[in-house]
Amino acid sequence: MKIFLNGELVDEKDAVVSVFDHGLLYGDGVFEGTRVYDGNIAFLEEHIDRLFESAKVLMLDIGMTQEALIQATVDTCKANGIENGYIRHVVTRGIGTLGINPYLCEKSSIIIIAANIKLYPQEMYDNGMRIVTAGTLRNMPEALNPRVKSLNYLNNVMAKIEAINAGVMECLMLNPQGYVAEASGDNVFAVKGNKLMTPPTWCGALEGITRNKVMDLARQMDMEVSETVMTRYELWTADEVFLTGTAAEVIAVSELDKRPIGNGKPGPVTNQLIEAYRKLVVSDGVRINF
């Protein structure tokens, strides 16, 4: 495998970063996860925009233009023959001292990995997934805004541990006020009649690219789409609940905290959105010309 590292495509074994990199020492950096479908890098511009926004909040200078990063992404996919797969962009603060001062880090490190992807089992798309609410609360925006896709993912890791310990693969996270924020690696939606609802980002959610695309698709289906503050009541009593994310795409939740959602099977709106989303990912994005 060839990895893009600081302007060069290097062999996997040479793709290493320093132990003094603040990405490792402090989780000081940002990342993105993007999918490739049939040679189309889905929504790449949106992902690169979000990467730059996350970096801006952290005052992290990426040191490359968006255009150059898009080109480097295409080149990395080409070099690895990735027609279908998953791309990870990582920008770390770079090499510094053992203190946290980011201004002592001279240059950011830029990494692009284009690889294959391991998906949730098909059975979960057919039957939905069972999830539970984690006791770990989502970070409060005033401390570390969940809109920043930073390398400091311990909040989500803690929640994911709870999910796995409970025998499920994903979990719901609430914010410190007790309102629904998102899942540990996905956004969450509820369907009630013709209404599609998802929490506003200020409740503690990443502004998911999949989330935004699904909201657009639902509007095209003449649904009433809103960002709504929700408690678990709204999810437990919804007709349908589903999660969205680059890796998961759109996936139904069949059960939350042992309460079956609707009739406990993926509902018609979720299924329609799964289908519409799968059509979109092959056309909306940046094409790799092999």
β 40-42/285-287 pair status:
antiparallel
Q: 33 vs 200, which CB is nearer to ligand PMP?
A: 33
Binding mask 83-122 for ligand PMP (x = CB under 6 A): ----------------------------------------
Q: 73 vs 246, which CB is nearer to ligand PMP?
A: 246
Q: 2 vs 160, which CB is nearer to ligand PMP?
A: 160
- The piece of 71-79, 82-90, 202-210, 276-284 that touches ligand PMP (CB under 6 A) is 202-210
Give 138-141 contacts, CB < 8 A, sequence gap 24+.
Answer: 138/173, 138/174, 138/175, 138/176, 138/181, 138/182, 138/204, 138/205, 139/204, 140/175, 140/176, 140/204, 141/202, 141/204
Distances (CA, A) of 120 to 59, 267, 270: 35, 19, 16
Measured from the Cβ of residue 157, the count of other Cβ atoms closer than 10 Å reads 12
Distances (CA, A) of 281 to 4, 68, 138, 246: 24, 22, 29, 10
- The piece of 55-63, 88-96, 207-215, 230-238 that touches ligand PMP (CB under 6 A) is 207-215
| Residues within window 174-193 making contact with ligand PMP, judged by CB under 6 A | 182, 185-187
Q: In the set 2, 89, 93, 211, which binds ligand PMP (CB under 6 A)?
A: 211
CA distance 27 to 90: 11
Q: 31 vs 236, which CB is nearer to ligand PMP?
A: 31
Q: 95 vs 252, which CB is nearer to ligand PMP?
A: 252
CA distance 223 to 199: 16
Q: Which residues pair with 86 in a beta bridge?
A: 35, 115
Helix axes 44-57, 209-220, angle to 10 degrees: 130
Query: Contact between 170 and ligand PMP (CB under 6 A)?
Result: no
Query: Contact between 2 and ligand PMP (CB under 6 A)?
Result: no
Q: In the set 30, 134, 209, 217, which binds ligand PMP (CB under 6 A)?
A: 209
Query: Contact between 141 and ligand PMP (CB under 6 A)?
Result: no
Q: 109 vs 187, which CB is nearer to ligand PMP?
A: 187
Q: In the set 92, 198, 210, 254, which binds ligand PMP (CB under 6 A)?
A: 210
Amino acid at 221: M
Amino acid at 289: N
Rounded (5°) CA angle 197-203-206: 85
Question: Least distance in Å: CB of 181 to ligand PMP?
Answer: 9
149 is catalytic: yes
Torsion of CA 59, 64, 67, 69, to 10 degrees: -100
- Report which of 85, 84, 76 is spatially closest to residue 111, judged by C-alpha positions: 76
Query: Contact between 206 and ligand PMP (CB under 6 A)?
Result: yes
- The piece of 99-107, 124-132, 201-209, 258-266 that touches ligand PMP (CB under 6 A) is 201-209
**Which residues form the interface with ligand PMP (CB under 6 A)?**
33, 156, 182, 185-187, 206, 208-211, 244-246
Which residues are catalytically annotated? 149
